[in-house]
Structure 1
Amino acid sequence: MADKEATVYIVDLGESMADCHNGRTESDLDFGMRYVWDKISTTVAASRKTWTVGVVGLNTEETDNAQEREGLEGYDHISVLQEIGPMTMSSLRELRSTIQPSHNYGGDAISAIVVALSMIEVFTKKLKYNRRIILVTNGESPIDDESSEDVANRLNDSNIELVVIGIDFDDAEYGFKEEDKSSTKAKNEKILRKLVDHCSNGVFGTMAQAVEELAIPRIKSVRPFKAYDGPLTLGDPSKYESALSIHVERYFKTKRALPPPASTVVVNHEHGGLSQSQTLDGDTEMGGTEFSGVKHMRTYRVNDPDAPGGKRDVDFEDLAKGYQYGRTVVPFSESDFTVTKLETKKMFTILGFVPFSSYEPFLDMGESGIVVAQKHNEEAELALSALIHALHELESYAVARYVQKDDAQPQIFLLKPNPGIEDEFECLYDVPLPFAEDVRSYQFPPLDKVLTVTGNVLKEHRLLPSEDLKQAMSDFVDSMDLSTSGEDDEGKPVEYAPIDDLYNPIIHRMTQAIRARAVDPEAPIGPPAEILLRYSRPPEKLIDKAKPEIEVLIDAAEIKKVPAKAQGRRGRKEQVKPLSGLDIDSLLGESKRTTISMENSIPEFKQTLATATDDATVERAVKQMGEIVRKLIHDSFADLFYARAAENLRVMREELIGLEFPALYNKFLTALKKSILSGELNGDRREMWFKHIIGGHLSLITQDESEVSEVAEDEAKAFAR
């Protein structure tokens, strides 16, 4: 069962909270609510009914609390904005409208703590809860500390943690001190710090540090999940008395983390409201528009000439699975399908042992687990301890067959001993191993020699690195060593990018974006946190330090800058000139061709492209050739001119591939397809498209045919359908 939590946030809504201080462009209230909204939205995202939240407003215009209703004095301008209970998107939306600065500063912070304390005591009673009160204030309203010690004792008796986060409060450990602090604020800081010091479980901090730490992703803590509870065997205990059987429990050690999943929804414009809540029927409201979950429905049809429309619906129960065997399909009924399923029994048995030295780490697959002896079973603990120490002393791993439950797929595990010498915890760590079919063995040419067709071995070759290049690369790798590139708090060299500081940017960026959108659907989502991008690039200091080695490596490898790829090849082909150096075209008075005739379209098109000196000429030639193709299709009687049009299209395609202008052809063909299938070219011309263009392999130019094409193979196949 999840831990129960009861948290009450006390938010100062006084008049001074609307002001901006210390160079910030946002008010003290907005600055402090960054922390509060982040914590509350995290609770909403967890969707745990046992994580309850309450909110109390300090320095509000009205007064609304149980103490004031009972006639007690000193609780003016304190309002309960939300009673303790589970937090949902709808309650978060309602709470947002109440968090507004007032024109009052007559509330007392310690009295507000008493109100929150009473709320927690009434809600939690004597049950097991994690109790917490969080006060957010700028300390500008007067505080009466006459009963602060009594309040602290009451907090201790109820086992309530008190967290005071002050806006621009002094914090020597964080390194912040506010200049020109008012006397009221300085006095209140001392009062609140003294109150926290009297609490057995209290925290006092400044808001700047709290907001800064919000960017650090919070790792989700999970309870151990027992995946297996049964015997770990060596041999068959039912057949051999000498077989080993140890009652063990297996838990997950590492598990793949995934970003929050998204669901498909449809907008219902006829509904209004500014709420978001997941309902039983799957409807969700957010940002003034209601979303409904999409329900999928699938129908199955078969060809039936006797049925209306030529198709007949069939029930899912009448379907059978079929497996392709060559070019035929072999059907399997539900009863036959059981033959293909491997029947297994729940087991965890050791198959054998392998030495440490013969195992390659790259064989590790998937998530790891931890195997321990059954709880409160001394015999199992002693037997497992003996096995662990034996494996450790012999420097061997155990290989085991694991079936989590009956009829589950079997897995092969590698069991690594952990004798508890360093961490005083004896266990076996397991990782899945691949089956033979999972391992692909590829043979690549050697990197240190070249084998000729005659069998000679060459140690020096243009494809092999020289000794200077090897040394330069070795020096460069050494200069980029990360093991001592970081610095600790004292400035001493430590490892750069330790595992504990590496966070998955996809998961946490998605979580941050969802949290921001949930709190304020209208506000733009901020940039990614710096901590998520910190290790996405090499450290600048290390790059500057390694610059000499980089320059040496560039010289040794003879690295040169490659000029940018031109859009097309026109004008780059060297023109053949006569020995006399004379311009034959100008002497004969022949001007460059400007139009392409239908009667001699292919030679004239090639000639125009060969003499083109700019992109505009190529585009004009393609446009003219395209008009000729369209006219041939339009004027064709039946399929009379289809072959001629296809030949013109083939020449256009080949020439534009050679000139590296695939976009012109793809654009024309896309428009041509639309014209043919819509009947714009004088009737039904689909035969031209499917038989002569698609059947003649004249579809879009893909990246496999031209490097500058933006069309992938899958896109071309989809286009041809």
Structure 2
Amino acid sequence: MADKEATVYVIDLGDSMADCHNGRSESDLDFGMRYVWDKISTTVAASRKTWTVGVVGLNTDTTDNEQEREGLEGYDHISVLQPIGPMSMTALRELRSKIRPSHTSGGDAISAIVVAASMIDLFTKKLKYSRRIILVTNAEAPIDDDSLESVAGGLNESNIELTVIGVDFDDADYGFKEEDKSAVKAQNERALGKLVGYCDNAVLGTMAQAVEELATPRIKPVRPFKAYDGPLTLGDPSKYESAVSIHVERYFKTKRAPPPSASTVNMKPEFGMSQMHLDDDGDVDMGGAEFSGVKQMRTYRVNDPDAPGGKRDVEFEELAKGYQYGRTVVPFSESDFSVTKLETKKDFTILGFVPSSSCEPFLNMGETGIVVAQKQNEEAELALSALIHALHEVESYAVARYVQKDGAQPQMFLLKPNPGIEDDFECLYDVPLPFAEDLRTYQFPPLDKVVTITGAVLTEHRLLPSEDLTEAMSDFVDAMDLSEASVDDEGRPAEYAPIDELYNPIIHRMNQAIRARAIDPDAPIEPPAELLLRFSRPPKDLLNKAKRDIEALINIAEVKKVPEKAKGRYSKKEQVKPLSGLDIDSLLGQSRRTTISPDNAIPEFKQIFATAADDATVENATKQMGGIVRRLIQSSFADLQYAQAAENLRVMREKLIEHDRPVLYNKFVTALKKSTLSGELDGDRREMWAKYIVGGRLGLITNDESEISGVTEEIAKDFLKAT
């Protein structure tokens, strides 16, 4: 059953709430409404009908409450701005228009609390609800404190939680005290403190602390969700008497929390996106404006010479999926799919066991589940406990096949025992095992030795770290240790980023922005809270402490800045030389390359450009690469070599842009277009032009890419149009 809440906000709208105090540029009302709007917008975002909200205005210009209508005295200037009920964007918009400072201060805060309590009692009756009253005031208006004990007794009897948040209230625990406080406010603070003391469940705080705590992300409470209820088997109980079957229940332990998703909507242009409330049909009532979700519709056409225009519309039900086999499309009907689909039944069975030492931590990348025995089933509890302790004693994990329901895709789970020795809770934790295709294994050379071609093992080599470098790196790692980079409340070393203080900045920043836009569509969104960003950078004290170790590591490792890549035209003066000053080509006995082989065209083409000393070398290399591209297209069977030709063409284009020779490329690609579309390259090669050259953006080089190109963006677009 969903939890039910009834919360009434009592907001002081007196004339004194329009004033600014203690150096703030915003009024007391705006400062206090930061807390109220944040709480109400969170309720709206939750979109739960059982979370109800009501609002009572204190010190309003008019009077509108049930007690005053019944003729009771002392309830003047108190108005019910919103009856208790589910909160929506429409109600939020209407409420925003009512929250304005008044021109009076004749209301009584204690009477307003009585009005709120009466609203809650009338709405909740004797049902199970979480009942709350939140009073926001600066306590500048007189308060009648004659009936504090009786009011507190009514709140206790109705089990109502009272929260009093005062603007600039003194709070010794928070460390705030207002200087030059008026006598009326000081007396009211004491009265409200007495009321809180008389209540069984009440709290009194200052607004500065409440606003500061808004930056702390609120963790959404999640109820346990049962994903599986059935037998956990070892063997086949239907065939073997020795098989084991334990009735278990599986719940989610961890679940991925995605950021809130967006929906595409349509609205009339004369209305702004101030607020929206979707109804059951997807339409939105914005106080006269239509705001509805966008629905996509597709139409399918086939070639039909007898139909008008040569095409005929077909229904989706008449279509069949087709898969490409070479250049042929093979149709695959629904009946064919039924043959390939794996028919599964609800199942949770153990297939085998593996040593826990053989399970690497990186396998635990999925969402975690927890498996426990069925409630009130002593036989299942005893059997599962025996299995858990057996796995723990032999230091093994179980591998199980899991099918959540009939027809679902099977998953492979790794079951880890938790014998309850430390936390007194026995269960099996499960994580999904990855497929072999999900794992990428890479082999790297060892860091402590070098193996030569002849098989000799070298422990001292220029590629291996020296003892000084190893020691310097060890000191640097120790200096950047975060495990004790912070201090606790008692001044002792503590972990810098404990897991319970780490929040996902994407999710919480998105929620913060959505709440801000819902409250005020025109106001700018405030920057992210410092709490979300503080662990995105290393602590300054730790950096200053490790500065000496960092400098020592840089000196010993001879870290040097990499020169920027040479740009512009080639010349010997602009060529980048090694930091050592050695001529690598002469040391290796290599001469400058002048020819390009089709089997290794791209690396050899780049080598020529890296050592090109004159225009003739560049033109010759471009001519050779162009000939290779044309031969690949001409000799290609269907489109088998089109991708290779396009890649060669892309490298040619990049290098000629880098060396400021766009005219060479534009001249070649213009001739290539003519040959490709005219059939000169042994057949119909239009697919090469349309899919690989146009689709790969390998057209003319424009002025935006090279200043000396002489080709505008419009000319380049016209060039890509096939003729």
> Which bracket does the TM-score occupy, shorter chain normalised?
0.7 to 0.9
Find the counterpart in structure 1 of residue 293 from structure 2: 293
Instruction: Kindly state the Cα deviation for residue 268 of structure 1 after the two structures are TM-superposed.
Output: 1.6
From the superposition, tell whether residues 688 and 151 of structure 1 become closer, same or farther in structure 2 (CA, over 3 Å).
Answer: closer
Kindly indicate whether the alpha-carbon contact (under 8 Å) linking 2:274 and 2:521 is maintained by their aligned counterparts in 1: no
* Aligned equivalents of 1:404, 1:62: Cα separation in 2: 60
* 1:631-663 superposed Cα distances (whole Å, 9 cap, x missing partner): xxxxxxxxxxxxxxxxxx999957743426989
* 1:550-587 superposed Cα distances (whole Å, 9 cap, x missing partner): 01111122111234445534677469xxxxxxxxxxxx
How do residues 444-523 of structure 1 correspond to structure 2 at under 5 angstroms? 444-523=444-523
With the length of structure 2 as denominator, give the TM-score of the two structures.
Answer: 0.80
From the superposition, tell whether residues 389 and 660 of structure 1 become closer, same or farther in structure 2 (CA, over 3 Å).
Answer: farther
Kindly indicate whether the alpha-carbon contact (under 8 Å) linking 2:572 and 2:613 is maintained by their aligned counterparts in 1: no
Kindly indicate whether the alpha-carbon contact (under 8 Å) linking 1:13 and 1:29 is maintained by their aligned counterparts in 2: yes
The 3-state SS of whatever aligns with 1:534 is: helix
AA in 2 matched with 1:483: S
Find the counterpart in structure 2 of residue 278 from structure 1: 278
83-92 or 450-459, which deviates more:
450-459
AA in 2 matched with 1:499: I
How do residues 663-678 of structure 1 correspond to structure 2 at under 5 angstroms? none
* Aligned equivalents of 1:611, 1:441: Cα separation in 2: 45
* Aligned equivalents of 2:282, 2:41: Cα separation in 1: 21
Find the counterpart in structure 1 of residue 37 from structure 2: 37
Instruction: Kindly state the Cα deviation for residue 350 of structure 1 after the two structures are TM-superposed.
Output: 1.0
Find the counterpart in structure 1 of residue 243 from structure 2: 243
* Aligned equivalents of 1:274, 1:652: Cα separation in 2: 53
Kindly indicate whether the alpha-carbon contact (under 8 Å) linking 2:231 and 2:247 is maintained by their aligned counterparts in 1: yes
Kindly indicate whether the alpha-carbon contact (under 8 Å) linking 2:81 and 2:95 is maintained by their aligned counterparts in 1: yes
| Number of residue pairs the alignment of both structures matches | 626
Find the counterpart in structure 1 of residue 158 from structure 2: 158
* Aligned equivalents of 1:663, 1:251: Cα separation in 2: 66
Find the counterpart in structure 2 of residue 26 from structure 1: 26
From the superposition, tell whether residues 472 and 329 of structure 1 become closer, same or farther in structure 2 (CA, over 3 Å).
Answer: farther
* Aligned equivalents of 2:494, 2:114: Cα separation in 1: 47
Find the counterpart in structure 2 of residue 77 from structure 1: 77
Kindly indicate whether the alpha-carbon contact (under 8 Å) linking 2:363 and 2:433 is maintained by their aligned counterparts in 1: yes
526-535 or 489-498, which deviates more:
489-498
The 3-state SS of whatever aligns with 1:543 is: helix
* Aligned equivalents of 2:427, 2:520: Cα separation in 1: 48
* Aligned equivalents of 1:175, 1:664: Cα separation in 2: 75
AA in 2 matched with 1:292: S
* Aligned equivalents of 2:299, 2:464: Cα separation in 1: 61
Kindly indicate whether the alpha-carbon contact (under 8 Å) linking 1:156 and 1:199 is maintained by their aligned counterparts in 2: yes
Find the counterpart in structure 2 of residue 149 from structure 1: 149
Kindly indicate whether the alpha-carbon contact (under 8 Å) linking 1:274 and 1:287 is maintained by their aligned counterparts in 2: no
Instruction: Kindly state the Cα deviation for residue 86 of structure 1 after the two structures are TM-superposed.
Output: 0.5
From the superposition, tell whether residues 180 and 288 of structure 1 become closer, same or farther in structure 2 (CA, over 3 Å).
Answer: farther
From the superposition, tell whether residues 93 and 310 of structure 1 become closer, same or farther in structure 2 (CA, over 3 Å).
Answer: same
Find the counterpart in structure 1 of residue 303 from structure 2: 303
Instruction: Kindly state the Cα deviation for residue 440 of structure 1 after the two structures are TM-superposed.
Output: 3.2
How do residues 41-190 of structure 1 correspond to structure 2 at under 5 angstroms? 41-190=41-190
* Aligned equivalents of 1:78, 1:187: Cα separation in 2: 21
* Aligned equivalents of 2:462, 2:2: Cα separation in 1: 65
437-446 or 151-160, which deviates more:
437-446
* Aligned equivalents of 2:44, 2:697: Cα separation in 1: 56
From the superposition, tell whether residues 690 and 439 of structure 1 become closer, same or farther in structure 2 (CA, over 3 Å).
Answer: closer
* 1:98-132 superposed Cα distances (whole Å, 9 cap, x missing partner): 10011111111000000000000000000000000
Instruction: Kindly state the Cα deviation for residue 307 of structure 1 after the two structures are TM-superposed.
Output: 3.0
The 3-state SS of whatever aligns with 1:135 is: strand
For the pair 1:341 / 2:341, whether they are aligned, the reply is: yes
Find the counterpart in structure 1 of residue 618 from structure 2: none
Kindly indicate whether the alpha-carbon contact (under 8 Å) linking 1:4 and 1:129 is maintained by their aligned counterparts in 2: yes
The 3-state SS of whatever aligns with 2:535 is: coil
416-425 or 533-542, which deviates more:
416-425
Kindly indicate whether the alpha-carbon contact (under 8 Å) linking 1:276 and 1:285 is maintained by their aligned counterparts in 2: yes
The 3-state SS of whatever aligns with 1:521 is: coil
From the superposition, tell whether residues 561 and 720 of structure 1 become closer, same or farther in structure 2 (CA, over 3 Å).
Answer: farther
* Aligned equivalents of 1:110, 1:687: Cα separation in 2: 81
Find the counterpart in structure 1 of residue 369 from structure 2: 369
* Aligned equivalents of 1:313, 1:461: Cα separation in 2: 73
* 1:249-291 superposed Cα distances (whole Å, 9 cap, x missing partner): 0000000000000011233225579542112332346799754
The alignment yields a C-alpha RMSD, in angstroms, of 3.4
Find the counterpart in structure 2 of residue 221 from structure 1: 221
Kindly indicate whether the alpha-carbon contact (under 8 Å) linking 2:168 and 2:208 is maintained by their aligned counterparts in 1: yes
From the superposition, tell whether residues 454 and 657 of structure 1 become closer, same or farther in structure 2 (CA, over 3 Å).
Answer: farther
* 1:588-632 superposed Cα distances (whole Å, 9 cap, x missing partner): xxxxxxxxxxxxxxxxxx9xx9999xxxxxxxxxxxxxxxxxxxx
* Aligned equivalents of 2:125, 2:20: Cα separation in 1: 41
* Aligned equivalents of 2:274, 2:571: Cα separation in 1: 62
How do residues 592-603 of structure 1 correspond to structure 2 at under 5 angstroms? none
AA in 2 matched with 1:522: D
Kindly indicate whether the alpha-carbon contact (under 8 Å) linking 1:55 and 1:82 is maintained by their aligned counterparts in 2: yes
Kindly indicate whether the alpha-carbon contact (under 8 Å) linking 2:344 and 2:403 is maintained by their aligned counterparts in 1: yes
In structure 1, the gaps of 5 or more residues are 576-605, 613-648, 674-685, 707-715
From the superposition, tell whether residues 525 and 144 of structure 1 become closer, same or farther in structure 2 (CA, over 3 Å).
Answer: same
AA in 2 matched with 1:9: Y
Find the counterpart in structure 2 of residue 262 from structure 1: 262
From the superposition, tell whether residues 37 and 310 of structure 1 become closer, same or farther in structure 2 (CA, over 3 Å).
Answer: same
The 3-state SS of whatever aligns with 2:399 is: strand
* 1:148-197 superposed Cα distances (whole Å, 9 cap, x missing partner): 10010110000000000011111111111111111111111111111111
* 1:462-496 superposed Cα distances (whole Å, 9 cap, x missing partner): 43333322222121111111111111122211111
From the superposition, tell whether residues 689 and 383 of structure 1 become closer, same or farther in structure 2 (CA, over 3 Å).
Answer: closer
Kindly indicate whether the alpha-carbon contact (under 8 Å) linking 1:274 and 1:288 is maintained by their aligned counterparts in 2: no
Find the counterpart in structure 2 of residue 192 from structure 1: 192
AA in 1 matched with 2:227: A
For the pair 1:385 / 2:382, whether they are aligned, the reply is: no
For the pair 1:394 / 2:394, whether they are aligned, the reply is: yes
For the pair 1:7 / 2:7, whether they are aligned, the reply is: yes
Kindly indicate whether the alpha-carbon contact (under 8 Å) linking 1:274 and 1:285 is maintained by their aligned counterparts in 2: no
From the superposition, tell whether residues 173 and 65 of structure 1 become closer, same or farther in structure 2 (CA, over 3 Å).
Answer: same
The 3-state SS of whatever aligns with 1:24 is: coil
* Aligned equivalents of 1:701, 1:224: Cα separation in 2: 60
AA in 1 matched with 2:447: L
For the pair 1:417 / 2:417, whether they are aligned, the reply is: yes
Kindly indicate whether the alpha-carbon contact (under 8 Å) linking 1:52 and 1:84 is maintained by their aligned counterparts in 2: yes
* Aligned equivalents of 1:663, 1:34: Cα separation in 2: 63
AA in 1 matched with 2:380: A
* Aligned equivalents of 1:372, 1:720: Cα separation in 2: 66
* Aligned equivalents of 2:363, 2:136: Cα separation in 1: 52
Find the counterpart in structure 1 of residue 638 from structure 2: none
Instruction: Kindly state the Cα deviation for residue 325 of structure 1 after the two structures are TM-superposed.
Output: 3.9
Find the counterpart in structure 1 of residue 433 from structure 2: 433
AA in 1 matched with 2:365: M
The 3-state SS of whatever aligns with 1:490 is: coil
Find the counterpart in structure 1 of residue 680 from structure 2: none
From the superposition, tell whether residues 447 and 313 of structure 1 become closer, same or farther in structure 2 (CA, over 3 Å).
Answer: farther
* Aligned equivalents of 1:367, 1:688: Cα separation in 2: 45
* 1:24-81 superposed Cα distances (whole Å, 9 cap, x missing partner): 1110000000000000000000111110000000011111100000000011111100
From the superposition, tell whether residues 251 and 213 of structure 1 become closer, same or farther in structure 2 (CA, over 3 Å).
Answer: same
Find the counterpart in structure 2 of residue 645 from structure 1: none
Find the counterpart in structure 1 of residue 355 from structure 2: 355
386-395 or 439-448, which deviates more:
439-448
AA in 2 matched with 1:205: G
AA in 2 matched with 1:448: D
